[in-house]
Amino acid sequence: MSSNTPNLGLLKKDPMVDGNETFNIETMLNENWDKVDEAVGKVREDLKNIDVDIPAASLTQKGIVQLSNALNSNSVTEAATPKSVNDATKYTDTKIASTRSEIETTRSEIASTRSELASTRSEIQQELSNLKINKANLNSPVFSGTPKVGSANIVTSSNIGSYVKPPDNFDGTSGERTLTVGPGKMFPTIQAAIDSLPAFRAYDVTIKPDSGTYPGFKIVNKHGGSIYIYGYETNVSISSTINISSCTSNVGINKVSISSNAIYGIEIQNCFNIGISYVTRIGGSYGIMMDNTPIVILSSCNFSNISNYAIWLRGGGTLRADSCTGSGNYAVYSVSSAILFDSSPNLTGTNRIFRSSGGQVYS
């Protein structure tokens, strides 16, 4: 008795029952092949429509992974090949061997250093054993004031104080300070403000006078921080000479006018670095006198109707005159044993320059 397969419905014959039937090519062969072919075609079509999305592998997800031969990669999405594992092993073995060699070399050096230290320690101990130390007795200078050994500088009971304290009149604070001058201000005169400063300072000082006329003043024996007389914002007149001497502090005089009454407008001696700017001196015997001061810079000053020298370089030092003006002077410069840099063509007089004792002038 004939039957059909459950999946494709192919025709089947039972040999025991249907053995005497004639073989039908159409039903028993061709139709069965057509069913097989149709089923295969359907499977192929279904396979084409299958879209499988396999994700990239990560530390938390299975998936596709890229192989890599790299030895220096930090990737966590690539897999090492046997070659890279083998290369890494060889590299590690080489580094271990090299490190072992370096360790052995270091051990050898340490052993050598220990030997040298032991030898040095032995030499020091030998020197100490040969050293004779003579302790000071009660007649030592600090007790008696009488030196027991020759020395150019011996600390005694009478001078020990000079070695354990700073100079008198010293202020070591840093920064800047401003002192005001005038009625109702910190100081009545410029001189009073200057006199308030210690001889030795670490801080800079700006002295600001109010508008008005003030007596001449002296800046003497001041060291350390700079001192500026600042008259830019006011109308300041000085009735007599400004004297600056024996100072290592930088000193600046800015925008003041000086009366013709005094012989000198500004007198500078034995200082280090002086800056004078926008100072006016009309009349008088001398405008500026400089002596034995390495650096003096005049800037935009006016000297007119000076009966002798507008600028007198009396001794050693260097003076630079920049953009100064004035007229009616007997002589603009007198240079003796000093160096002048003249950049003030508009400062004029009957005579331009007198030179003596090797004075040098550069224009």
pLDDT in tens, 125-140: 776 666 544 444 444 4
Q: Are residues 178 and 149 in the same domain?
A: no
DSSP secondary structure letters along 337-357? SSEEEEE-TTEEEEEEEEEET
Q: Are residues 216 and 335 located together in one domain of the fold? A: yes
> Rg of the Cα trace of the chain?
53
Residue 306 pLDDT level (bands cut at 50, 70, 90):
very high
Residue 145 scores a pLDDT above 70: no
Task: For residues 278 and 195, state if they share a domain.
Answer: yes
Tens digit of pLDDT for each residue in 323-358? Answer: 999 999 999 999 998 999 999 999 999 999 998 888
Average pLDDT over residues 293-320: 95
Q: Residue 264's pLDDT band (boundaries 50, 70, 90)? A: very high
Comparing 244 with 70, the larger pLDDT belongs to: 244
Q: Residue 158's pLDDT band (boundaries 50, 70, 90)?
A: low
Q: Give the residue, 165 or 282, on which the prediction is more confident.
A: 282
- Asked if residue 44 and residue 65 are part of one domain, the reply reads no
Q: Print the domain residue range for 158.
A: 134-165
Q: What is the pLDDT of residue 15?
A: 78
Residue 131 has a pLDDT of 55
Q: What is the pLDDT of residues 202-211, one digit of tens each?
A: 889 999 999 9
Q: Do 321 and 292 belong to one domain?
A: yes
Percent of the chain surpassing pLDDT 70? 87
- Output the pLDDT for position 217: 96
Question: Given this model, what pLDDT does residue 159 score?
Answer: 52
Q: Which residue has the higher pLDDT, 206 or 151?
A: 206
pLDDT at 279 over 50: yes
Q: 151-160, 172-181, 185-194, 245-254: lowest mean pLDDT where? A: 151-160
Same domain, 196 and 336: yes
Domain-ending residue, one of 165, 184, 217: 165
189 and 244 housed in the same domain: yes
**Largest CA-CA distance found in the chain, in angstroms, rounded:** 162
Please report the pLDDT score of residue 349 as a whole number. 96
- Which band of pLDDT confidence, cut at 50, 70 and 90, is reported for residue 150? very low
Same domain membership, residue 241 and residue 296:
yes
pLDDT value at residue 18: 75
Of the pLDDT bands very low, low, confident and very high (cuts 50, 70, 90), residue 164 is very low
pLDDT of residue 172: 57
User: Do residues 271 and 326 share a domain?
Assistant: yes
Domains in the chain: how many in total?
4
- What are the angstrom distances between the C-alpha of 210 and each of 242, 259, 276, 282, 359? 17, 17, 19, 22, 40
Is the pLDDT reported for residue 144 higher than 70?
Answer: no
Same domain for 91 and 161, yes or no, is no
CA dist., res. 198 & res. 193, Å (int): 11
pLDDT of residue 26: 85
How confident is the model at residue 166, as a pLDDT?
46
pTM across the whole model:
0.54
265-278 mean pLDDT: 95
Residue 261 has pLDDT above 80, yes or no: yes
Alpha-carbon distances of 347 from 23, 47, 318, 320, rounded to whole Å: 142, 107, 18, 13
Are 222 and 310 members of one domain? yes
Task: Give start and end residues of each alpha helix (H) in the chain.
Answer: 15-18, 25, 31-48, 82-130, 141-144, 190-195
What is the CATH classification number for the domain harbouring 205?
2.160.20
Q: Are residues 228 and 321 in the same domain?
A: yes
CB 232 within 8 Å of CB 256: no
Residue range 69-97: average pLDDT?
86
| Cα 89 from Cα 136, distance rounded (Å) | 72
